[in-house]
Amino acid sequence: MIQVTRPFLPPADEYKSYIDEIWKRQWLTNMGPLSSELEMQLKEFLGIDHLLFTTNGTIALQIAIKALELKGEIITTPFSFVATTSSIVWEGCQPVFVDIDKGSLNIDVNKIEEAITANTCAILATHVYGNPCEIDKIDKIAKKYSLKVIYDAAHAFSVEYNGKSILTYGDISICSLHATKLYHSTEGGLIVTTDPLLLKKISLMRNFGISGFNEFGELGINGKNSEFHAAMGLANLKYVSAIIEKRKSLTDRYILNLKNLNGYMPLWNEYSAPNYAYFPIILDSEELLLHIMSELEKNQIFTRRYFYPSLATALPYLENKSLPNADTISKRVLCLPLYYDLSLEEVNLITRIILRVQNNNKWSS
């Protein structure tokens, strides 16, 4: 069986060495030594000054909205994981969907200004599949209208834009360290800001707002992570370069084999290099996609319609909104298997099946 993704796991003895330390100290959570060490190593690895390790990426998003004291409308994308939108609603704000660009699949910056109203307080944009948004244009719009900017960089671990970590842009950026990501801590997230005062506020909010013994400085939540998750993060960190290199070789093979695909692959930002977190294809029709999925599943190969459906039409707690690009692309996008243990031979098999289906006219007659 070939899964759409499979988490990377370090050698068991390396992970166990961290677990043995936890057993000796009996310090299991509340930002223990391993969690603090992970934060320090991640800052060095990513080349950033401020970073907080959180329970997950969703909590990081919710804290970001709360820390910026956002009220009213937040302009966002319908082409993302549901947490991008649900976090806005959870924090009492109103998501305002803007259509996506057909090339990058990110929010279409040319449509943002027309969505701004007197109630708009922020832009929450996703770097889809780790592909950087048009950051400079978003920043210009935000400054013009005095809006805050949050970037959902859940997929963008290790991505750089103009030579700097993607996480250093916007007022706050978040990242996911979930097990499905190319680098993970089993469950986990990161929240990043370049503002030291805002970081201090977020740090308090992550720990119930506690500012001292029997003292509270902020409204807070439990956004901390455990030593066991930090242990996985530390054990995995030294393998990130090897993971990305392997994923690149698999991606290169996909691109080579699918040069005659009836569809296309998203266009990556020219000021950035890919991290190879996902391999999405946008097929010419939903009918073709469904036939490809079906044939792959017959061969025990599993893909994912990520992201489908458009969030602007899928959520029972929001009114439906039709957006042409998001509507059609969400129906035609398919993420193919991509993970460290996948082999080039398996990629060859996957692509042979895809091309055989698309070149067989029987299903389309």
Q: Is the pLDDT of residue 365 over 50?
A: no
Output the CA torsion 247→250→251→255 (10° steps): 170
Average pLDDT along the chain:
97
What is the pLDDT, as a whole number, of residue 213? 84
Q: Is the pLDDT of residue 284 over 60?
A: yes
Q: Is the pLDDT of residue 202 over 70?
A: yes
Q: Is the pLDDT of residue 60 over 60?
A: yes
Chain mean position to CA 328: 21
What is the pLDDT, as a whole number, of residue 143? 98
Helices and strands (H, E) in the chain, number of each type: 12, 14
What are the φ and ψ backbone dihedral angles of 304, each rounded to 5 degrees? Answer: -145, 135
Average pLDDT over residues 153-179: 98
Global pTM value: 0.96
Six token digits for residue 277: 């977190």
Average pLDDT over residues 120-130: 98
Cα distances from 61 to residues 122, 157, 175, 271, 306, in angstroms, run: 13, 16, 9, 25, 20
SS3 284: coil
What is the pLDDT, as a whole number, of residue 214? 85
Average pLDDT over residues 62-70: 98
What percentage of the chain's residues is helix, strand, coil (to nearest 5)?
Answer: 40, 15, 40
What is the pLDDT, as a whole number, of residue 227? 98
Six token digits for residue 271: 């000021």
**In this predicted model, what pLDDT tens digit does every residue of 312-357 receive, in sequence order?**
999 999 999 999 999 999 999 999 999 999 999 999 999 999 999 9
What is the pLDDT, as a whole number, of residue 127? 98
**In this predicted model, what pLDDT tens digit does every residue of 212-262 receive, in sequence order?**
888 899 999 999 999 999 999 999 999 999 999 999 999 999 999 999 999
